[in-house]
Amino acid sequence: MKIKIAIILPLLTILNACVSTSGVKDVVVEDRGDAPSKVDAIAYEKGDFGWRDLANSTSKKDNNRVETSTEIKAVAELKASNTQFTLYFAYDAVDISDSATQEIIKHANFMRNNPEIKLRLEGHADERGTREYNLALGENRAISVKEVLGLYTGLGSRIEVVSYGEEKPVAGGHDETSWKKNRRVEFIYR
């Protein structure tokens, strides 16, 4: 019995230190509900709640701010200009290709010309690897895109990074063709 207590007590101390709440911001856990066989939730800061794609929405009040039809029209025009809103990555990679850099530059110029619009970068991974690894990989992919965007002065504070890992696949197959489509970063404006 004393041995069990000697082992459990230090573990409880370590766990207590890990779950300390000092400096932690309020978070919202959003249940996506897309994949009933998997846990499908994402946590993000409460102040960032309410993201959506402006070009596919109508004006909506969010944190005492109303998006104007001008903002919606600007995102629609960006989509119509053949700008890619999804960037794809090689297996287990976070590197930005030259063609992806050109697309990111288009988004950076758009954001500079529309200072009221914010961007959420959603990182994704294919199903291979653990859930935790894929969440980190999706986040690192989105951070890589944000770093390129951050080269433009003043954009960093308007960009949020979220990772869904393997939880939101666009292709349901279990082969390289499907996995290529699932290794991506998506640009979501508001």
pLDDT band at 145 (very low <50, low <70, confident <90, very high): very high
User: Could you tell me if residue 12 is inside a domain?
Assistant: no
Side chain identity at residue 57, one-letter code: S
State the DSSP string of 124-177: E--SSS-HHHHHHHHHHHHHHHHHHHTTSTT-GGGEEEEEEETSS-S---SSHH
Sign of the CA dihedral 56, 141, 179, 107? Answer: positive
Query: Do the Cβ atoms of 190 and 117 come closer than 8 Å?
Result: yes
pLDDT band at 17 (very low <50, low <70, confident <90, very high): very low
What is the domain range of residue 138?
A: 49-189
pLDDT in tens, 80-96: 998 999 999 999 999 99
User: Could you tell me if residue 41 is inside a domain?
Assistant: no
Tokens at 56, concatenated: 């596919």
User: Could you tell me if residue 37 is inside a domain?
Assistant: no
User: Could you tell me if residue 82 is inside a domain?
Assistant: yes
Task: List the alpha helices (DSSP H) in 19-63.
Answer: none
pLDDT in tens, 31-90: 333 433 333 333 333 334 344 444 444 444 444 444 567 888 899 999 999 899 999 999
Any idea what the CATH number is for the domain that residue 166 is in?
A: 3.30.1330.60
User: Could you tell me if residue 38 is inside a domain?
Assistant: no
Total domains in the fold of the chain: 1
User: Could you tell me if residue 137 is inside a domain?
Assistant: yes
